[in-house]
A and B are shown apart, each in its own frame.
Chain A
Amino acid sequence: MRARGRRKTSYAADIAVIHSGRQWLTLAVFIGLLVVLPLVLNATHNLNWVTFLNFTLIIIIAVLGLNVTTGMTGQVSLGHSAFIMLGGYGLAMLTLKADWPFWAALAVSTLVTGLIALIVAIPAIRLKGFYVAVVTLAFFYIAQYVIRNLDITGGTFGLIGIPSPSIAGMSIKGDVRWYYLLLALTILCVLVSVNITRSRLGRSFLAVRDNDVATAALGVNVPLTKLRAFFVGSLFAALAGGLWASYVSVVRLDQFTIWDSIWYLGMIVIGGAGSTAGAIMGVIFLRLISQILHVIGTSDLIPLSSTVTIYSTQIIYGLVIILFITLKPMGMISIWQKFKINYKRWPFGV
């Protein structure tokens, strides 16, 4: 059997996202599958699967952001849910109260959330480790408090009737149209995320995560890098929040809980912190768990009340996070990479 070693002769070739014609082909087939997926699911009248896919795509966008802040730069943020919330409320308020067009509202609410994240990051960047988590946690509760007590945000009732976007005169209504919009945006975000990793910016993020002090000695401006990480991370979050609000056409406080912040962190850990592919895997893994429990719970086989389903999901999420962090700290991506390396080096692999 032929050994599969492959040498790279330049740095550009080494960091290239796509290395070979065969990978292009695989990618094309994969995206093709994603495109026909809702048609297949539609045919079997399982519409809730498309809803599931849509939420998964929204969460992938959000978690790609947290992957920048926490995964790449090592700033453990418990405030991600709050940034998503701000994105959602921003869009809702601009479209409903100021009658802005959807896309302009989305862009502005995303940017403004980014700016708010910068303010939150200021106390956070002076401190290390879990202090950052505490600051972002406090921010989460303060943001919730403010929204609950303002009139313009609809208080505890939230805002309803958030408009859908339209593209080239076609209004995005219904699960399937949303699916294609979200898929396109997700692919865009994945591209951005992958390119961040390959850029100078991404390398400074990783350097800060791995060692503050040494990185500063190398001339990287550590506080500035952390600020950038928070800014970029919250842009993804706010984008996801805006899409979420419009997709379900309401924003309410209970859509954005501290548990969600925890799950997002868990998804990153499970996938493999710092890796775009890992983040996506982590999201899909946890989402599938909850969906499977949901399907079981609503089936005739083992009917479970919705509260039982919710808390069983919580238990299993907790267990999965615990197991990965104790046993597989580098996440699913490390398992995959090991497999890939062994495959490539066959028959010389370890």
Chain B
Amino acid sequence: MDAATILLQLVLSGILVGGVYGLIGMGFVVTYRSANVFNLAYGQFVMFGAFIAWSFIGSPQEPRLPLPIALFLTLIAVILFGLAVEYLLFRRMIGRPMHATFILTLGIMALLHGAAMLIWGPGVHVLVETVPRGAIHLGSIVLSQEYVWSFFLAVIIALALALMFQRTRLGLAMRAAYDNQVAARCLGVSARMNAQITWAIAAVIATLGGILMGTVHGISTTLGELVMIVLAVVLIGGLDSLIGCVLGGLILAIGMNLSSYYLGPHLPGVEGIFSMALILIVLLVRPSGLMGTRPIERV
């Protein structure tokens, strides 16, 4: 393979992974926007959602329920999970300083991680084949089918979400509440319902992301560590922007691919640190990220 093909290969596979990262990041953005929570436990949400799905879907050796039914039950279960998180925890934090909520998410992170370790153990659990596997050859470029599938699914889900926010009454209300909570409530937007929907959406996105990641890599408690990737994705994109999120996912994944290939031989494992470095650079140069809203200054 010549240098150009290698580059293309790296970029293409980066795009495929980046789409999934972008989707996962959206769940983080949603709670940040609508519930004002910087949820460091989000990686655990992804992991928990994936395990719940696995419990219903089963492994190739031991399939459990037919896929549609299993997915439906998973959906119900994680929506309930999201609602419970809101009802039991975050509802109590309204009006409290943001760093208190932040530390609360650290506690949740510990709780969920410990629980998952006890329930499912540290091993990798393989998911029933949800999408076709195998390699796709485009000239000399090789892409794996499950990546392509998860990329397209991620794009579809992300588009649906964006449409929801841009085109529906509910989405409009959620954007309005993010802009000006008091005014939105004076127009009849229920703060409580808003919060519930937000957490349910976050849990669902996290789970879908977890299933897609699990399809490719298998499911284990290390999925929780995705939160570091998510942080990089959302900070690059701008904490409150869904489009920025996709952009952040692409940039990060391509960057990780490139750094791993070109720098990896000299600096083993550099791609893991690449996201950290990127976070620092973004925060230094442009704290609101690429697409994040900066407050409109008017007198």
B283 near A314 (CB under 8 angstroms)?
A: no
Within 8 Å of chain B (Cβ to Cβ): is A31? no
A322 near B99 (CB under 8 angstroms)?
A: no
B103 near A321 (CB under 8 angstroms)?
A: yes
Give chain B residues whose Cβ lies under 8 Å from the Cβ of A313: 114
Within 8 Å of chain B (Cβ to Cβ): is A339? no
Please name the residue on chain A nearest to B235 by beta carbon: A134
Q: In which size bucket is the chain A interface?
A: 35 or more
**Complex formed: what's the CA distance from A126 to B269 in Å?**
30
Scan residues 159-189 of chain A and give those whose CB is less than 8 A from a CB of chain B.
Answer: none
Which of A17-25, A51-59, A138-146 touches B?
A: A138-146
Give chain B residues whose Cβ lies under 8 Å from the Cβ of A139: 280
Distance (whole angstroms) from the CB of B248 to the closest CB of chain A: 14
**Complex formed: what's the CA distance from A259 to B228 in Å?**
14
**Complex formed: what's the CA distance from A14 to B273 in Å?**
50
Scan residues 241-260 of chain A and give those whose CB is less than 8 A from a CB of chain B.
Answer: 259
A76-B102 contact, Cβ under 8 Å, with A134-B279, A134-B283, A141-B228: yes
A265 near B276 (CB under 8 angstroms)?
A: no
**B111 touches which one: A76, A142, A319, A325 (CB < 8 A)?**
A319
Within 8 Å of chain A (Cβ to Cβ): is B108? yes
A138 near B279 (CB under 8 angstroms)?
A: yes
Give chain B residues whose Cβ lies under 8 Å from the Cβ of A126: 287
Give chain A residues whose Cβ lies under 8 Å from the Cβ of B228: 137, 141
Within 8 Å of chain A (Cβ to Cβ): is B106? yes
Task: Name 21 interchain pairs, CB-CB below 8 A, sorted by A.
Answer: A74-B99, A76-B102, A123-B280, A131-B283, A133-B102, A134-B279, A139-B280, A145-B273, A148-B269, A149-B268, A259-B110, A262-B109, A266-B103, A314-B111, A314-B114, A314-B117, A320-B107, A321-B106, A322-B89, A325-B93, A329-B100
B109 near A318 (CB under 8 angstroms)?
A: yes
Mask of A121-136 contacts with B, CB within 8 angstroms, 1/0: 0010011011101110
A142 near B277 (CB under 8 angstroms)?
A: yes
Scan residues 245-273 of chain B and give those whose CB is less than 8 A from a CB of chain A.
Answer: 267-269, 272-273
A129-B110 contact, Cβ under 8 Å, with A76-B103, A269-B103: no
Within 8 Å of chain A (Cβ to Cβ): is B96? yes
A317-B284 contact, Cβ under 8 Å, with A76-B99, A138-B276, A141-B272: no
Mask of B281-297 contacts with A, CB within 8 angstroms, 1/0: 00110010000000000
Which of A3-11, A89-97, A212-220, A304-312 touches B?
A: A304-312
Within 8 Å of chain B (Cβ to Cβ): is A47? no
B107 near A130 (CB under 8 angstroms)?
A: no
Give chain A residues whose Cβ lies under 8 Å from the Cβ of B111: 314-315, 318-319, 322
Please name the residue on chain B nearest to A145 by beta carbon: B273
A325-B103 contact, Cβ under 8 Å, with A308-B118, A315-B111, A319-B111: yes
Within 8 Å of chain A (Cβ to Cβ): is B45? no
Within 8 Å of chain B (Cβ to Cβ): is A44? no
Please name the residue on chain A nearest to B32 by beta carbon: A130
Query: B-contacting residues of A (Cβ < 8 Å)?
Result: 74, 76, 123, 126-127, 129-131, 133-135, 137-139, 141-142, 145, 148-149, 259, 262, 265-266, 269, 307-308, 311-315, 317-322, 325-326, 329
Query: A-contacting residues of B (Cβ < 8 Å)?
Result: 38, 40, 89, 92-93, 96, 98-100, 102-104, 106-115, 117-118, 122, 228, 231, 235, 267-269, 272-273, 276-277, 279-280, 283-284, 287
Give chain B residues whose Cβ lies under 8 Å from the Cβ of A307: 117, 122
**A318 touches which one: B108, B118, B267 (CB < 8 A)?**
B108
**Complex formed: what's the CA distance from A318 to B117 in Å?**
14
Distance (whole angstroms) from the CB of A308 to the closest CB of chain B: 7
A321 near B280 (CB under 8 angstroms)?
A: no
Distance (whole angstroms) from the CB of A120 to the closest CB of chain B: 9
Give chain B residues whose Cβ lies under 8 Å from the Cβ of A127: 283, 287
Give chain B residues whose Cβ lies under 8 Å from the Cβ of A142: 273, 276-277, 280
B99 near A123 (CB under 8 angstroms)?
A: no
**A129 touches which one: B99, B106, B114 (CB < 8 A)?**
B99
B114 near A312 (CB under 8 angstroms)?
A: yes
Distance (whole angstroms) from the CB of A210 to the closest CB of chain B: 10
Give chain B residues whose Cβ lies under 8 Å from the Cβ of A141: 228, 272-273, 276
